């Protein structure tokens, strides 16, 4: 199934800090319950089976499940609990392809998303529904990346992420590997090794791929020639740019302009 068009509708969200007497009464849910345990211990009973969850665990309870829960009174649970409905763009109900219980750990990226969601949900400024839905989609994307998609299941090293951000900000310029390594405080050789480990491409391959993707976007606008797109992406040699474009995309950049002209 393609999950790119999912549309979540939040019914309830809370950054919960439980008391010793906290419980969820036994009942059937009419929403998806996605709860991430940030601290402590909790016991959930789902459809008559009891699960122990600890710090860094995630529980994804499908709509229509029988659910109850209580915390360990000596190790009180803190959590981010989301109750929401999930549809596709046609309005059909969608279920999440996540295990009932998973261990996620405590990655800074995820905690930052939850903290931002908490802030926007409590502030409730005009239009907060749109912002909180966007943040939920980012949270769901994080879980999809780690629990469903198998091609990217590790967090990128902060130094490599810094280099990637630098690349994306400077696609119009010449970017040297030595220059990137310097921004991260690593030697050129070690930076190259670490980059390929996390990104799956050499630094030069990654830079070229991002530049070609950017050039494709520029050409799709219909406002620029192949030569102008090449220059805007830091290529001085148009012949080399066209050759690299075809190698990366499987067709020459001129094909985009020809197809754009046909559509008018």
Please determine, for residue 264, whether its predicted confidence score (pLDDT) is greater than 80: no
In this prediction the pTM is 0.67
Which of the listed residues 116, 147, 178 is the one where a domain comes to its end? 147
The reported pLDDT for the residue numbered 157 is 84
Residues 54 and 185 in one domain: no
For the domain that residue 201 is a member of, what is the CATH number?
A: 1.10.10.60
Identify the pLDDT of residue 153.
Answer: 47
Are both 140 and 12 inside the same structural domain? yes
Looking at the structure, do residues 130 and 212 belong to the same domain, yes or no? no
Count: domains in the chain: 2
**Residues 117 and 244 occupy one common structural domain:** no
Q: What is the pLDDT of residues 219-231, one digit of tens each?
A: 988 889 999 999 9
Give domain status of residue 21, yes or no: yes
216 and 98 fall within a common domain: no
Pick the more confident residue, 11 or 221: 11
Instruction: Name the DSSP letter for residue 72.
Output: B
Residue 224 falls within a domain, yes or no? yes
The segment with the largest mean pLDDT, out of 20-29, 160-169, 196-205, is 20-29
* 131 and 167 together in one domain: no
Residue 94 lies in domain: 7-147
The whole-number pLDDT of residue 199 equals 84
Average of per-residue pLDDT across 42-66: 96
Q: What is the mean pLDDT of the chain?
A: 92
Residue 156 or residue 3, greater confidence: 3
Final residue before a domain boundary, out of 99, 123, 147: 147
What average pLDDT does this structure show over 1-15? 91
The answer to whether residue 234 is domain-embedded is yes
Query: Residue 1, Cβ neighbours under 10 Å: how many?
Result: 8
Angle value at C-alpha 219, between 216 and 223, nearest 5 degrees: 155
How long is the chain?
264
Average pLDDT over residues 157-186: 91
**Residue 207 placed within a domain:** yes
In a domain, residue 152? The reply is no
Same domain, 109 and 193: no
Q: Is the pLDDT assigned to residue 124 strictly greater than 80?
A: yes
How much of the chain, in percent, has pLDDT values that exceed 90? 81
| Domain limit, last residue, from 94, 126, 147 | 147
Please check whether residue 219 is in contact with residue 241, taking contact to mean a CB–CB distance below 8 angstroms.
no
| In a shared domain, residues 46 and 76 | yes
Q: Angle 158-169/188-199 helices, nearest 10 degrees? A: 90
């Amino acid at each position: 199934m393609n999950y790119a068009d999912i549309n979540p509708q939040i019914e309830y969200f809370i950054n919960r800090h439980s008391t010793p007497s906290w419980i969820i009464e036994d009942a059937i849910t009419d929403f998806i319950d996605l709860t991430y345990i940030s601290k402590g211990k909790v016991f959930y009973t789902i459809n008559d089976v009891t699960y122990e969850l600890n710090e860094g665990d995630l529980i994804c309870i499908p709509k229509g499940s029988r659910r109850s829960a209580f915390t360990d009174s000596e190790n009180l649970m803190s959590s981010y609990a989301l109750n929401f409905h999930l549809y596709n763009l046609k309005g059909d109900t969608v279920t999440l392809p996540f295990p009932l219980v998973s261990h996620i750990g405590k990655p800074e990226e995820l905690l930052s998303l939850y903290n931002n969601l908490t802030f926007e949900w409590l502030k409730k400024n005009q239009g907060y529904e749109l912002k909180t839905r966007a943040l939920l989609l980012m949270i769901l994307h994080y879980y999809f990346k780690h629990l469903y998609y198998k091609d990217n299941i590790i967090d990128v090293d902060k130094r490599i992420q810094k280099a990637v951000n630098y690349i994306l900000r400077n696609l119009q310029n010449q970017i040297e590997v030595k220059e990137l390594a310097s921004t991260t405080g690593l030697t050129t050789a070690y930076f190259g090794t670490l980059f390929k480990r996390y990104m799956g491409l050499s630094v030069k391959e990654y830079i070229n791929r991002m530049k070609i993707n950017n050039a494709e976007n520029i050409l799709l606008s219909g406002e620029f020639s192949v030569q102008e797109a090449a220059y805007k992406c830091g290529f001085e040699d148009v012949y080399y740019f066209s050759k690299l474009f075809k190698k990366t995309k499987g067709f020459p950049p001129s094909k985009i302009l020809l197809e754009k002209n046909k559509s008018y």
